[in-house]
Structure 1
Amino acid sequence: MYIEVEKDVRVFVQDLNPGPSSKTIFFVHGWPLNHNMFQYQFNVLPQYGYRCISMDIRGNGQSDKPWGGYSYDRLADDIFVVLEQLKLEDIILLGFSVGGALTIRYMSRYEGRHVSKLALVDAVSPSFVKAPDSPYGIPKEQANALISQMYANLPKFLSDLSVMFFNRNKGSEMLNWFINLGYQSASYALIKILQAASNEDVTKDLSQIHVPTAIFHGIHDQLIPYQSAQLTQQQINGSQLFPLNNSGHGSPIDQSDDLNRLLMQFINTP
């Protein structure tokens, strides 16, 4: 289905296992991907009665691809419109990578409306770029170089990124799948979202989260170091950190069985 989030901008939403359900999980994907990155969750979780709803962030996947509107605030607003339109309540909001940053901004910007629990998976938090209060990010110059690479040679950029994404050799088929997900996005959208990640952070948003929060993070993450997850956990009151010992940045794929099990445990804990 499609939901209009602002005039002439529609985002694609997939709803698996709708109807009476004990729990609804709303998935927000990472960059440079789309909702299909969660297929190893969608293959399993509905079997246990979970309703799994996911959206393609504007500019990505099957969503409209406007030229503008890629700030953290606007993308968080898109999440809010979708949750409102679907009349969802007491959901588990799950954000991966940049989607993690967007869900954090959403929780702060909308005071956690519609959400009973938050799950952050390899989240870009507190920041993507190194800052005084978030020292584990990459240098600003490196972020600018990544953006320049996308302008110059997007296929090589996605190919190089695919190798860094996983902890283990997943084979050429998996890497090609990852790259093809990136090709389903508008290149200007990928550039603008990475620019937003480079210029924004969610440090001040973390203290505004007041629901049970689980942080799942690969200890071999080459893109968002595990220390960033530890710092995030320290700043969200009462949150729990679950290290994924065999994962890089792509833990929903690297360690899908363990992530699914831990996620269900978190959801089912009173």
Structure 2
Amino acid sequence: MGRYIQVEDGVNLFVQDLGEGIPVIFLHGWPANQLMFEYQFSKLPMNGYRCIGIDFRGFGKSDAPWDGYTYDRMADDVRAVIDELGLENAVLVGFSMGGAVAIRYMARHQGHGIAQLALMGAAAPVFVKRPDFDYGLMTADDFTTDMIEATYEDRPKMLSKFGLQFTHSKKRAGTMVWLESLCLQASHHGTIKAAIALRDEDLRGDLAAVNVPTVIFQGMKDKICDPQFAQLLSESITDARVVPFEHSGHAMMFDEAEKFDKELLLFLDQVAATNQIPRPASQNL
């Protein structure tokens, strides 16, 4: 079921809410929307999980205000959704930019309502190379030219080029067309301003505040987020483990879908066991 939730500055966020049980909050990557998790939304409710997908402001069906695309603002939006839905002992799942916002949420809001964290190809701790950060697969100048300026000039062309780096599998042409269609639903200015946040934000000071069990999924052939990010995150988050996807690019949920679903369900089941939360019996297809 989809609904709109109005946040503090009057922006309406579109939120998908499916199933019953332990809440699992999904934060999508740039510049897609929560529909990128549609396969998980179809499967997890059959295993006793409630899937909650949030379209960030400027993306999907959410409002697209002129301002408000910092990680702080997007983390505050997540808090507004959690409070409105009264969520407790939830699992926060963040992919790519969504992973970065999830980390900022854990630091800025002291992990309010969250029992465990899953980071997937997270654009963190810093997305681009800097003089004091020698990781990342591009410099800030290259990102400005290839992603931000290219979006000003020809957004569909930029998205087509970006999509070629998204997965490792060459058999996913149909999936890439579908994902590109999701990205085209975003606002033009929201796409640009969120890209500026990707380029400029720094999460190194946030990581010590993550104090819940954390799993880090990382495609080892990722051409968007440096695979070394996963190791850096695991070294700075107290209770974290890395699950490598050896045959995946950035989007391991498509390149190694079976392994992804298995590992995600294993992690979610740990939430139920740790918090002694009963789950409904699994349903067969």
**TM-score, L = length of structure 1:** 0.96
Alpha-carbon offset, residue 132 of structure 1: 4.8
Match of 2:15 in 1: 13
- Secondary structure of the 1:179 match is helix
Preserved contact between residue 95 and residue 119 of structure 1 (Cα < 8 Å): yes
**Alpha-carbon separation, structure 2, partners of 1:125 and 1:180:** 26
Check 1:8–1:243 CA distance in 2 against 1; reply closer, same or farther (3 A cut): same
Question: Given the alignment of the two structures, is residue 266 of structure 1 paired with residue 267 of structure 2, yes or no?
Answer: yes
**Match runs of 1:112-261 below 5 Å:** 112-132=111-131, 134-137=133-136, 138-145=138-145, 146-261=147-262
Query: Which residue identity is paired with 1:92?
Result: V
- Is the CA contact (8 Å cut-off) linking 1:40 and 1:252 kept in structure 2? no
Letter in 2 for 1:10: N
How many residues align? The count is 267
**1:185 shift after superposition:** 0.2
Cα deviation code 1:183-236 (max 9, x no counterpart): 100011010001011111211101110000000010010000111111111110
The 10-residue stretch of structure 1 (138-147 or 80-89) with the greater mean CA deviation from structure 2: 138-147
User: CA-to-partner distance for each residue in 1:10-55, whole Å, 9 max, x for gaps?
Assistant: 000001103xx2x211101010100110012112111111111111
Instruction: Name the SS of the counterpart of 1:131 in structure 2.
Output: coil
* Secondary structure of 1:253's aligned partner: helix
**What's the offset of the Cα at 1:256?**
2.2
SS in 1 for 2:206: helix
Q: 1:8 is matched by which residue type in structure 2?
A: G
Percent identity, aligned pairs only?
41
CA RMSD, Structure 1 to Structure 2 (Å):
1.2
Structure 1 regions of 5+ residues with no counterpart?
A: none
Residue 35 (structure 1) aligns with = 34
Q: Secondary structure at the match of 1:203?
A: coil
User: Is the contact between residue 126 and residue 134 of structure 1 (CA under 8 Å) also seen in structure 2?
Assistant: no
Aligned equivalents of 2:214, 2:131: Cα separation in 1: 25
1:94–1:120: 8 Å Cα contact kept in structure 2? Answer: yes
Say if 1:35 and 1:61, in contact at 8 Å, map to a contact too.
yes
What TM-score do you get using the length of structure 2 for normalisation? Answer: 0.91
In 1, Cα distance between equivalents of 2:253 and 2:66? 29
For residues 133 and 268 of structure 1, do their structure 2 counterparts lie closer, same or farther at Cα, with a shift above 3 Å needed? Answer: farther
Give the Cα–Cα distance (whole angstroms) in 2 for the partners of residues 239 and 87 of structure 1.
26
d(CA) in 2 for partners of 1:34, 1:77:
18
Does the CA contact (< 8 Å) of 2:130 and 2:140 recur in 1? no
In 2: Cα distance, 1:85 partner to 1:116 partner? 18
